[in-house]
Chains A and B, each alone.
Chain A
Amino acid sequence: MTPTKSLHSRRQFFRKVKSDVMVGLTVLATVVAVAPLFLVLGYLISKGAASVNWNFFTKMPAPVGQPGGGMANAIVGTFELVGLACLFGVPIGVAAGIYLAENRGGVLAQAIRFSADVMMGVPTIVVGIFCYAIVVRPFGGFSTLAGAIALAVIMIPLVTRTAEEMILLVPHELREAALALGVPRWRTSLLIVARTAASGIATGVILAIARVAGETAPLLFTAFGNRFWSTSLFQPISSLTMQVYTYAISPFADWQRQAWAGALVLTVIVLALEFGVRWLTRGAAQVAR
């Protein structure tokens, strides 16, 4: 009996060592995975925080060599571009998502789902060039509208697919319960099924917003950037991303500092959106039951 027993405890010892090593490796992998986030944030704060002040949010860019100035136009531009993109992209994306969820197996649905998946993989600079060709060229110039359309094109497949998935999570029984009350199918889909999935869909929309708010390439081809204040839909407009790009590659230390500040502000906006989603979905779990 004794030898088996010692063998047994030895095997247990090796098991424990193996388990500890594995746990150690996963902890290490986690640290490696999240470290960049904190490094980036820390670096941004150390480089940019000093330049983030009231003027940064309220003042226009100062001419080269002149100290001070801010990115008011770029901040407003980002909100304008993203807001407009939502105006186009969210209704289309949500409607397409509802369609996909309602007609799961249909030929058209499968085609749409496939193209949405392909669209998500298309590099955004290609979307920019595409919008340059079909919006900017024919309409005679860079514009806010063209930029918003480019961002909407990036948003639509993201919103479509999350909306579809969220709607599919709604229990089948709810749909049947509404139909059994004599509610027509389209009203059931909209007022019960989509309504029940609403917080999940909102989550998808916010994530899509966070995603496009950080886009630069497609905007360079469409909204182009603008040093001046612009509110016209048909004029070029600036965005935080484009301003950061222009300032960062400039040779002026002043502008470079502002680029860091811009990058920090943009990152904080995106992080705030992501945290907003966390907060939203915390309630969604109980709604979807």
Chain B
Amino acid sequence: MADNKMSTRDLRAYFHKVEALHGVTLGFAANRVTAIIGPSGCGKSTLVRCLNRMHEVVPGASCTGQVLLDGEDIYAPAVDPVQVRRRVGMVFQKPTPFPTMSIEDNVAAGLKLNGIAVSRAERDRIVEESLRRAALWDEVKDRLKRPGASLSGGQQQRLCVARALAVEPEVLLMDEPCSALDPISTARIEELLLELKENFTIIIVTHNMQQAARCSDFTAFMYAGDLIEFGETRQIFTTPARRETEDYITGRFG
């Protein structure tokens, strides 16, 4: 467990009084891709949103237990959620480029909105590097001043990845990043994951079994707010220990 970048201990999440996560204890290895799978409504989004303190943004939502980032509890009283979110970036299911901003401003949004002053040259370097990392640079390098919303859905999603990367997070959470994308864009994002894990720790929620099998190192299977099984992806998909897991990945329920 020593090389876990993040881990949770008995994490319980609530919407008002309703418990949506029933005590999840799970570790996320550094520089690895961990996939979270499970049927709709089982708490995957809730879990990842607890990992960067986005859960509490929902009115009435709360959680108990611990979430450790490099061994420190991000829910400790002295911790500022804003600092946590800079270290743990997030890409959402629906692409969300800022509609009032150009492509490059979208990428640099994290810097600008946080009032981080950088020189023009430095900013351009960060924009280019982030877009390259998100495998979008070649497609947009000639139209950086165009609105972010002028891109296709798949490009918008990669723009959102670039935007998340530009603030140099350590962990990247992706909540079904491909569910609105065509197979080609999906393949690009998957390739991207393999490149990104050199530098980042990645946690991805997906409904796509092949995707989880293809690009993750570890897989967590959740059901009805519980973590049912966790292990190396190959083991989960070939010799699952639990009956529910096997049923789910073979498509017998869920």
Contacts and interface: CB of A to CB of B under 8 A. Distances in A.
Tell whether A and B belong to one assembly. Answer: yes
A176 interface: yes
Given A173-B96, A174-B98, A287-B99, A180 B90 contact: yes
Interface in B221-251: none
27 contacts: A105-B59, A171-B96, A174-B98, A176-B54, A176-B57, A176-B92, A176-B96, A177-B96, A177-B98, A178-B113, A179-B57, A180-B89, A180-B164, A181-B86, A181-B89, A181-B113, A181-B164, A182-B86, A182-B87, A183-B82, A183-B110, A184-B82, A187-B113, A191-B113, A192-B113, A287-B99, A288-B99
Question: Which among A173, A181, A196 has the highest number of chain B CB atoms within 10 Å?
Answer: A181
Interface in B157-194: 160, 163-164, 167
A289 interface: yes
Interface string A91-112: 0000000000000010000000
A195 interface: yes
Contacts of A191: 113
Contacts of B92: 173, 176-177, 180
Given A105-B59, A181-B163, 10 more contacts: A178-B109, A178-B113, A180-B92, A181-B113, A181-B164, A182-B87, A182-B114, A196-B98, A196-B99, A289-B99
Nearest to B80: A184
Contact of B85 (A171, A173, A174, A182): A182
A187 B87 CA distance: 18
Contacts of B54: 176, 179-180
Interface in A153-182: 171, 173-174, 176-182
B100 interface: yes
A178 B98 contact: yes
Interface string A270-289: 00000000000000000111
B216 interface: no
A188 interface: yes
Contacts of A174: 96, 98-99
B5 to A, nearest CB: 17
B103 interface: no
A282 B54 CA distance: 35
Nearest to A171: B96
B149 A181 contact: no
Nearest to A175: B57
B52 interface: yes
Contact of B114 (A171, A187, A198, A288): A187
B99 A181 contact: no
A174 B57 CA distance: 13
Interface in B67-104: 82-87, 89-90, 92, 94, 96, 98-100
Closest 4 A-B residue pairs measured CB to CB? A182-B86, A180-B90, A182-B85, A177-B96
A177 B90 CA distance: 8
Interface bracket on A: 20 to 34
Interface string A19-57: 000000000000000000000000000000000000000
Interface residues of B, number: 28
A173 B93 CA distance: 10
A203 to B, nearest CB: 16
B75 to A, nearest CB: 16
Nearest to B54: A180
Interface string B144-161: 000001000000000010
B114 A195 contact: no
A27 B193 CA distance: 61
Nearest to A188: B113
A181 B57 contact: no
Nearest to B110: A181
Contacts of A184: 82, 114
Interface in A171-227: 171, 173-174, 176-184, 187-188, 191-192, 195-196, 198
Nearest to A192: B98
A183 B114 contact: yes
A178 B99 CA distance: 12
Contacts of A105: 59
Contacts of A192: 98, 113
Contact of B52 (A171, A180, A187, A289): A180
A185 to B, nearest CB: 8
Nearest to B115: A187
B59 to A, nearest CB: 8
A118 B149 CA distance: 40
Contacts of A288: 99
B167 A182 contact: yes
A176 B44 CA distance: 17
Contact of B100 (A180, A181, A195): A195
Question: Which among A177, A192, A196, A287 has the highest number of chain B CB atoms within 10 Å?
Answer: A177
